Structure 1
Amino acid sequence: MKFRQLVAAGLLLSVANLATANQSQFVVEDIRVEGLQRVALGAALTYLPVQVGDELNDFRVAQLIRSLYSSTHFENVEIWRDGSTLVVRVAERPTISNIIFEGNDDIKDEQLQDSLDGSNIRVGEPLDKTVLTSIENGLKDFFYSIGKYNADVTAIITPLPRNRVDLKLLFEEGDAAKIQQINIVGNDIFSDAELFEQMELQFNTPWWDFMSETRYQQQTLSGDMETIENHYKNRGYLRFAIDSTQVSMTPEKSGIYITMNVSEGEQYTISDVELVGDILGHEEYIASVLPLTSGEMYNQAEVTYTEEFISKYLGRFGYAYPTVTTVPDINDEDKTVKLTLSVDPGKRIYVRRLNFEGNNITADSVLRQNVSQMEGTWLSNPLLESSKNALSRLTYMEEVEFDTVRIPGEDDKVDVNFRVKEQPSGSFNAGIGYGDRTRLSLQAGIQQDNFLGTGKRVGISLNTVSYQQSAQITYQDPFFTIDGISLGGSIGYSEFDGEDFNVIRFNSKQWSIGANIGYPIDEFNRINFGLTFADVELFNRSQYEQTDRFYEQFVDLNNPDASINYQSLLATVTWSRSTLNRGVFPTAGSSQRASFSVTTPNSDVNYFKSVFDTKFYFPLSRNQRWSFLARLRLGYGNGYGDINGNEQILPFTENFTAGGADTLRGFENNTVGPRGIQRFSEGQIVGPDGNIIPGSPETDSYILSRRSLGGNAMALGGLELIVPTPFVEEDFDNSVRTSIFMDIGNVWDTEFDFDEYAGLNNAGAGRNDFDDLLDYSDWKLYRASAGLSVQWLSPMGPMVFSFSRAIREREGDDARFFTFNIGQTF
């Protein structure tokens, strides 16, 4: 309306100017445009519907002015005649130099800018002042919809040199109106309390119920009304209706009173269910699985589920846009309803092309390898969902969405557009830890899960931790064949110091080379086979009862302090399953992994190890910002057979350990579990041949090591409540995670015989931090801890900050510490 008034005023002024000069009609011999600053003369002339040689009249003047105003470049236009020259005097609209938002808390800057873009208000564009009022009113309406009735929005224009302006939108949001009372009138079947439990909007909530919503929001009220209606209709009250809703506020606009008038009606039962339409020959199957049956109470949720089920079922066969409508035939006399399900499958839809957007690093071919929906085949909703899930589980994908786009002129073909958001696929694997005894520890490494965008995993690890110096190269091609068969391998060398690793003192050198191949069983399950050759050298050891049994197989009696060396060929089979919704920071689904490793009989050592891991994520909110995690890890290993008369046991270098970020937070790395026992015989003598003859066992004594040596059995578990990270926006939930956790578990030795040492004297009593010998074969000697963990997927790799405290510990445990890790696996 303002634009029309402005044009009309311009027309009157221009016509008046021409009329005053008694020159309202003439032949244009020249055109002169005055007042241009930013707009080029050539561009301005393109908006003039008059050329040299044309005859100018009142109609042409009106047409000319409308054309100039419609260009959006000018805020004032005047038409003059100078002899036979047409003079166009314009005042350009100022150019927006900067847009500033101030005082907005409930609306993000990005959302505001998107709103302004729709009105063509952006930096570098001319400012149309006529739309500012509508923008102000639109933003006020938004604040009113979320209960902020005292909110105000003011547009401030600050002139700048060269016909530029700064545009500031000043927000005064004020406080949201609180719900003072909710009244439901007309309900007899369900009490107010029962209906209030269904609603998201609440009032008079206790102070500790910080998750309740007491701020009025129009959209939330609409959702609550729908929820109450469903509550009734899901219980047979087919005629239920909300007759009216009144929302009133206090004079100061700080309180809201809500009143809903309802008509409950009576319960209805289903008299008959009939399927009509073209169901493509699947009538018998669909009828057999429908939850709607005669004689049962009417349930709106089951009706909706039935419609969705039929639609999804037909979608499996390419009928992606079926129409399923339930027509109720209500008999108010006997309170029954006949349901007629009308099905129109529509045309079978085919996929013309799969398109990928947002993958700046990952090649399209890599994404296609993970997509089960193929081009040229039927459009299948289950295949699209499984494709989305498979892409989301890639560790280098943060978000995945898709939509189908109909092709103009083709009613049976669509394009499928996958929109992905990548996240860092490489990690600088480093860690910093601090403990009461170990003090500062460091580690480093590099891994790339999406090497050069090929989806292949390449890792180069060079670690110089206090307890280990190692180098390893790994390679994994998840799609070695188009069928999803994977192939990988690794080669590595390490030098290890057990004492610095918080276990008993020993040193080792090891080099290994291995290969693995994997086969997909289905969308969620996979099986892998691996074979690894290892050469191990052990030296510089402390003698403990538990380790001597292993050393005795290889030790040279003439040189008992010499190093020992053994080789092994380890075969591994691994089963893995994952239904997680994301590869990193999942919030829903589960994962399981079971592996069994055994050395071949021709190896120098014969042993086996089995490990089982499982995790379950349970979303607690619709947006999955709140989620619950339950996890469990079990492990067991032992020797098999005998070599040269020596019964085989699990090498202590393969023992399970616990403590630290991966296992039991709140305990120092690898300090939980059995400790080394040194046994001494006080009455021993040296025989004529120089051999030691032990004395009476009653005089034996023992000393416990300060370090753990691990065990051949392990059980670890934990519960975590994943919560929104404070001061971090929802957009960053896929890269920052905060959780409150409790860890519990133990490592024990099933081969340990406590009775063999129970009667011995403790020679270390009073000299160690701990004096008592525990039954290290007892799995019930568990530890537990609780704390807070913050994880951040940084450009260098995942970072973990853990604040934890032991809530159940054993004598000698090293607890109460803070850890910070880079490159931690989640």
Structure 2
Amino acid sequence: MKLKQLVVAGLLLSSASLAHADTQSDFVVEDIKIEGLQRVALGAALTYLPVQVGDQMNSFRIAQLIRSLYGSTHFESIEILRDGNVLVVKVKERPTISNIIFEGNDDIKDEQLQESLEGSNIRVGEPLDKTVLTSIENGLKDFFYSIGKYNADVSAIITPLPRNRVELKLLFEEGESAEIRQINIVGNEVFSDAELLQLMELQFDTPWWDFLSETRYQKQTLTGDMETLRSHYMDRGYLRYDVESTQVSMTPEKDGIYVTLNVNEGEQYTISGVEVIGDLLGFEEYINSVMPLREGELYNQAEVTYTEEFIAKYFGRFGYAYPTVTTIPEINDEDKTVKLTLSVDPGKRIYVRRINFEGNSVTADEVLRQNVSQMEGAWLSEGLLESSKNSLSRLTYMEEVDFETVRLPGEEDKVDVNFSVKEQPSGSFNAGIGYGDRTKLSLQAGIQQDNFLGTGKRLAFNVSTVSYQRSVRLSYTDPFFTIDGISLGGSLSYSEFDAGSANLIRYNSKSYTVGVNAGYPINEFNRINFGLSFSDVELSRQNSYEQTDRFYNQFIDEDNPDAPIDYQTWLASVTWSRSTLNRGIFPTAGSSQSASFSVTTPNSDVNYFKMIWDSKFYFPLTRDQRWSVLARFRAGYGNGYGDINGNEQILPFTQNFTAGGSDTLRGFENNTVGPRGIQRIPQSITGPDGDRIFLGPESDQLRISRQSLGGNAMALGGVELIVPTPFVEEEMDNSVRTSLFLDVGNVWDTEFEYSDFRDLEVISTENALADYSDYSRYRASAGLSVQWLSPMGPMVFSFSRAIQDRVGDDVKFFSFNIGQTF
């Protein structure tokens, strides 16, 4: 800045002397000419002149004119001349920046550099003020010094171009960072050097394999480490702890740093008393009952801070959004005690004047307001605002949600609440082609929107065909059918399913279903949904199995046993769901649980019920929640009830649970985990007369299918460590997720009687007989999963290894599913 002032002062003096030489005496201006203009319009240049025709010119007016022209930032040099009574102003415009290039910068991103330059008004298309380049160079050098790069250099190179343009290049020579050679802590007696150094982020002399340690010297990191040490002592009663001095020395080659901290630990202090004063609004008893600070305990700075924040948040629940909570310590150095007085000033109760939304280019404000529990005109509640933020974040068409409160000028008790949202695609009209390791080639077309026309209503119409299924489905849901949040929806679908191509026992089915559903919100987190659907199912049997024949035999036509069977059902369902997840897509904190019960009505052709429990818990490990643990569990059970026409009802095998694949047990082929189909083959001999004589059931042989039949019970669980995706920016966390997982689970048949088959000979070479009623025959796998919500559609890649499998299981190392829209 000083250099800039000197340059300007020199130019002013030189210009002033020229003016004096050419204008020896005062004169009245009869005309004004400006010479040298190229990009600046004449009209614009005249507006910068504090002189008009008819004005008296003198040395003061000349100096004033020069200052005004330089202040416009358009001119590099100015010369004032007199031609008779004509004032002549000769200017040389500053060159215009045509291009800005950064070269050699690794520690500073181009975006950060560009933002820094724009702060100094250096951008493409603007005049170049060369006087600020030196300060920019020095500022960048200071940054490199702060991260330990003491040999760094920054040079600004200006290359002239035609038409008074220039190219600005910032050339960086960052050099190597200075490594910390040693950190010495002097004066500590209570805690050893090893204990204190373990707390610090800066490290030295680390083993080669500890690549996460920070051995580069960084001034800001050292400041943070000093604060960490202070907190460590203050949280353990050392109220007088202090860092008396800090020495940072450098090797002559500027490649090594030695850090010395001189500390004074002091003595431990205990709390002699705690008093809360001020206007507590009648909450004295509650605040004192939950107060973590107690007389006789060691002083703990963390608990003091927590207490202040707790009281402030508690008052915030009742509209006192800006309370002041101050802890006043009275230290007695003689007996090493401290009395704590917490002074509370709740301030005024704050009311919300207006709630505003920005960033929602698609979603209507009305839809967002439906998910906001804070009301206009009511007092401001931090709890309700956080609750509203979470509700908005759980919408699948919201990527980011934040809010701020803005105090109104002249209004001490009123604020506006501004919600800023970032939307993400919630579906689209599409036609597509995809390929998956389970679905093989797939085609699809339709429209699917969770936020149809910005109304928040969900609409889906899809037609798809994959290797094992062709289907068409239309569904519609209005999540706010009433102002109270009652939802109403319906669906209509038709499907043709080839089970053999889906790794299941061979059968074909055709079905159509029509249903309605309604939901009722219990509170912010809990909801109950009711549904009723009608289905018509046609089944074609291709193979006969012991477990399926019992179901087929209820409907078989004895005159045409190979004909397809047909049955109809009315299915009623109720589902309770709870969600405290922080996001609808790729959550990192909170939990979700759901329990559903569905049962066919007695007038249906088959009577059965199913129960499913599903839960997920996310535990963030870091403050930014980029590291998180997911624990999940899913269980289900189904069976028949009663009897129809003398037939005891069982769960239709088409309703069996299956497992294996990317959404259940990775590392196993889709739908292959669970009971296999059993074919019982009677044996016979040829009698003396040549007739076949069938032997008894004890001589039957078994053939076990390679394909799974599924089961009426399941239990699936897993743990995932969600980690930052390598080489992907943090801003992409909402669309890319990487996790290390452990999957465990099993599917079994509680109705299977192993004793009926265990003594029979198995002739199948495809599989072996097992006790399919044994729930303990679990499978397990571990691996790496990457999920990407790409513009082309969702992509899931899994690398897994089975660590517990069973005979006949189809294990796999890699699985993927890719969809593409165009």
Band the TM-score falls in, shorter-chain normalisation? over 0.9
Listed one character per residue, the Cα deviations across residues 351-397 of structure 1 (whole Å, up to 9, x for unaligned) are: 22222222222222221211122222212111111111111111111
Q: Distance in 1 between matches of 2:107 and 2:466?
A: 48
Q: 1:19 to 1:136 in 2, by over 3 A?
A: closer
Q: Distance in 1 between matches of 2:156 and 2:295?
A: 62
The equivalences for 1:20-59 within 5 A come to 20-59=21-60
Q: 1:516 to 1:430 in 2, by over 3 A?
A: farther
Listed one character per residue, the Cα deviations across residues 425-453 of structure 1 (whole Å, up to 9, x for unaligned) are: 11668752237xx9x34353552222122
Q: Distance in 2 between matches of 1:520 and 1:558?
A: 53
State TM-score, norm by structure 2: 0.96
Matching residue of 1:783: 779
Q: 1:527 to 1:165 in 2, by over 3 A?
A: same
Structure 2 SS opposite 1:637:
strand
Contact 1:36 1:90 in 2 (8 A): yes
Q: Distance in 2 between matches of 1:590 and 1:250?
A: 53
Matching residue of 2:329: 328
Matching residue of 2:742: 742
Q: 1:430 to 1:259 in 2, by over 3 A?
A: farther
Contact 1:486 1:517 in 2 (8 A): yes
Matching residue of 1:403: 404
Q: Distance in 2 between matches of 1:340 and 1:39?
A: 66
The equivalences for 1:208-287 within 5 A come to 208-287=209-288
Matching residue of 2:435: 432
Structure 1 SS opposite 2:673:
coil
Q: 1:527 to 1:175 in 2, by over 3 A?
A: farther
Q: 1:4 to 1:242 in 2, by over 3 A?
A: closer
Matching residue of 1:479: 480
Q: Distance in 2 between matches of 1:170 and 1:363?
A: 48
Q: Distance in 2 between matches of 1:80 and 1:483?
A: 79
Matching residue of 2:386: 385
Q: Distance in 2 between matches of 1:637 and 1:138?
A: 70
Counterpart residue type for residue 237 of structure 2? G
Listed one character per residue, the Cα deviations across residues 577-610 of structure 1 (whole Å, up to 9, x for unaligned) are: 1122211111222211211111111111111111
Contact 1:358 1:422 in 2 (8 A): yes
Listed one character per residue, the Cα deviations across residues 750-782 of structure 1 (whole Å, up to 9, x for unaligned) are: 111111001112232xxx233x21111111222
Q: 1:12 to 1:548 in 2, by over 3 A?
A: same
Contact 2:539 2:565 in 1 (8 A): yes
Listed one character per residue, the Cα deviations across residues 463-489 of structure 1 (whole Å, up to 9, x for unaligned) are: 111111100011122222222221111
Q: Distance in 2 between matches of 1:181 and 1:736?
A: 40
Q: 1:98 to 1:22 in 2, by over 3 A?
A: closer
Q: Distance in 2 between matches of 1:584 and 1:119?
A: 40
Matching residue of 1:810: 806
Contact 1:430 1:821 in 2 (8 A): no
Q: Distance in 2 between matches of 1:175 and 1:508?
A: 68
The equivalences for 1:156-171 within 5 A come to 156-171=157-172
The equivalences for 1:80-479 within 5 A come to 80-426=81-427, 431-434=434-437, 440-442=440-442, 444=444, 446-479=447-480
Q: Distance in 1 between matches of 2:371 and 2:593?
A: 20
Contact 1:241 1:263 in 2 (8 A): yes
Q: Distance in 2 between matches of 1:468 and 1:185?
A: 73
Counterpart residue type for residue 413 of structure 1? K
Question: Larger deviation: 136-145 or 419-428?
Answer: 419-428
Equivalent of 1:819, from 794, 815, 819? 815
1:754 maps to 2:730: no
Q: Compute the displacement of 1:172 (Å).
A: 1.9
Q: Distance in 1 between matches of 2:329 and 2:674?
A: 67
Listed one character per residue, the Cα deviations across residues 226-261 of structure 1 (whole Å, up to 9, x for unaligned) are: 111111111111111111112222222222221111
Q: Distance in 2 between matches of 1:758 and 1:162?
A: 94
Structure 2 SS opposite 1:78:
strand
Q: Compute the displacement of 1:803 (Å).
A: 2.1
Counterpart residue type for residue 437 of structure 2? Y
Q: Compute the displacement of 1:805 (Å).
A: 2.6
> Where has structure 1 moved over 4 Å in runs of 4 or more?
427-431
Q: Distance in 2 between matches of 1:693 and 1:139?
A: 98
Contact 1:10 1:65 in 2 (8 A): no
Q: Distance in 2 between matches of 1:592 and 1:823?
A: 29
Counterpart residue type for residue 744 of structure 1? V
Q: Distance in 2 between matches of 1:522 and 1:107?
A: 48
Alignment length, in residue pairs? 812
Matching residue of 1:728: 728
Q: Compute the displacement of 1:660 (Å).
A: 1.0
Contact 2:185 2:263 in 1 (8 A): yes
Contact 1:786 1:805 in 2 (8 A): yes
Q: Distance in 2 between matches of 1:441 and 1:806?
A: 26
Q: Distance in 2 between matches of 1:398 and 1:494?
A: 33
Contact 1:434 1:818 in 2 (8 A): no
Q: Compute the displacement of 1:622 (Å).
A: 2.5
Q: Distance in 1 between matches of 2:172 and 2:500?
A: 63
Q: Distance in 1 between matches of 2:197 and 2:243?
A: 15
Q: 1:207 to 1:3 in 2, by over 3 A?
A: closer
Contact 1:434 1:817 in 2 (8 A): no
Counterpart residue type for residue 528 of structure 1? N
The equivalences for 1:629-668 within 5 A come to 629-668=630-669
Q: 1:93 to 1:77 in 2, by over 3 A?
A: same
Q: Distance in 2 between matches of 1:138 and 1:513?
A: 68
Counterpart residue type for residue 450 of structure 2? D
1:571 maps to 2:572: yes
Q: 1:612 to 1:730 in 2, by over 3 A?
A: same
Structure 2 SS opposite 1:819:
strand
Q: Compute the displacement of 1:183 (Å).
A: 1.2
Q: Compute the displacement of 1:263 (Å).
A: 0.9
Matching residue of 2:789: 793
1:718 maps to 2:699: no
Q: 1:333 to 1:461 in 2, by over 3 A?
A: same
Matching residue of 1:589: 590
Structure 2 SS opposite 1:755:
helix
Structure 1 SS opposite 2:413:
strand
Q: Compute the displacement of 1:297 (Å).
A: 1.4
Listed one character per residue, the Cα deviations across residues 604-657 of structure 1 (whole Å, up to 9, x for unaligned) are: 111111111111222222322222222111111111111111111100000011
Contact 1:232 1:240 in 2 (8 A): yes
Structure 2 SS opposite 1:111:
helix
Q: Compute the displacement of 1:66 (Å).
A: 0.8
Structure 2 SS opposite 1:426:
coil
Q: Distance in 2 between matches of 1:22 and 1:495?
A: 98
Q: Distance in 1 between matches of 2:412 and 2:819?
A: 50
Q: 1:644 to 1:6 in 2, by over 3 A?
A: same
Identity %: 75
Q: Compute the displacement of 1:22 (Å).
A: 4.8
State TM-score, norm by structure 1: 0.95
Listed one character per residue, the Cα deviations across residues 396-441 of structure 1 (whole Å, up to 9, x for unaligned) are: 1111222222222222222222222222211668752237xx9x34
Q: Distance in 2 between matches of 1:420 and 1:207?
A: 44
Structure 2 SS opposite 1:410:
coil
Alignment RMSD: 1.9
Matching residue of 1:506: 507
Structure 1 SS opposite 2:44:
helix
Listed one character per residue, the Cα deviations across residues 53-77 of structure 1 (whole Å, up to 9, x for unaligned) are: 1111111111111111111111111
Counterpart residue type for residue 532 of structure 2? L
Structure 2 SS opposite 1:550:
helix
Q: Distance in 2 between matches of 1:11 and 1:24?
A: 19
Question: Larger deviation: 362-371 or 494-503?
Answer: 362-371
Consecutive unaligned residues in structure 2, runs of 5 or more: none
Matching residue of 1:77: 78
Matching residue of 2:624: 623
Q: Distance in 2 between matches of 1:762 and 1:14?
A: 108
